[in-house]
Structure 1
């Protein structure tokens, strides 16, 4: 059986070495594009989207206000009519899937990456990642943190400052630390 690359281990949710040369090279390329993008604060949306297309691949009607930060860019899939405000972070060590008509307030953080919780394993250096899925018509309030492996259902609003550690269903308002459903929106 052929040995898996660290990239494939990362995308498969297995322990992987983030210092692997292929992963470092991919992150370095993303940093160069992000540096260009974040320097374009006065540029038109069309000009900025040209750089985002290099970073993310397919993207159309999206508006990400610089500065924006991510690990790779290649593992972020964004739907139509996406808006992300200033100073947002997406750690895309696993797939991040964002639906249509999603809005993110400033300082939203979306983290697929995490480390082993057992100290003896953590200090060895390997990392883990779990995918995140955000449905259509979702609003993530400013400063919300979306943790690894979380799915947020469509038509849901996440309150500002929330820490989303578990799946949140569709059609609800959820908030808090940890984030929990406050009321139905249906």
Structure 2
């Protein structure tokens, strides 16, 4: 039995993103995102129905501002009371899990896909997906970028505009590009 590109993507192996099945999944996500982004706010509520149905898990009292974008949606899990401000982008070729009470500022971007470094393979659509895990009660400031393979611990803070390339400990505050640890308050 041959392993399909979707299976390879889910397993964190190199896969071809130009696969027809993956394109169908992305089209389904584009349709759900379009519904979310174009519905009147009163009709949409906290999240458009098609977007809610697309995600792997949505806790109670989740709110996603428009506009929003995701690649697949099926790899996104949102805990209770998660808030995504306007302009968030989630390229969810890998699993994205956001814990209870976490807040993402406007324009936060989460990128799970990493394209191949060798030009011939990259030009054929070869990439790998790395998961992103955001713990509970995390605050990610506007315009921050979270790269694949990153885990952000409970209660952490990511400063606006930061580029997070490696894990962030629970309760830590990181800022900058690349994001670096800030000393505890009063010890700067």
Gaps of 5+ in 1: none
Alignment of 1:20-169 (within 5 A): 20-44=19-43, 46=45, 48-59=47-58, 60-169=60-169
Q: Give distance in 1, aligned partners of 2:47 and 2:134.
A: 23
SS at match of 1:142: coil
What value does the CA root-mean-square deviation take over the aligned residues? 1.6
- Cα separation, partners in 2 of 1:90 and 1:77, compared to 1, 3 Å: same
Q: Would you say how many aligned residue pairs link Structure 1 and Structure 2?
A: 184
CA change 1:49–1:58 in 2 (3 A) is farther
SS at match of 2:126: coil
Q: Normalising to structure 2: TM-score of the pair? A: 0.92
Runs of 4+ residues over 6 Å off in structure 1: none
Secondary structure of 1:25 counterpart: helix
Kindly indicate whether the alpha-carbon contact (under 8 Å) linking 2:16 and 2:124 is maintained by their aligned counterparts in 1: no
Structure 1 length-normalised TM: 0.93
CA contact (8 A) 2:39 2:48 kept: no
Could you list the runs of 5+ residues in structure 2 that have no partner in the other structure? none
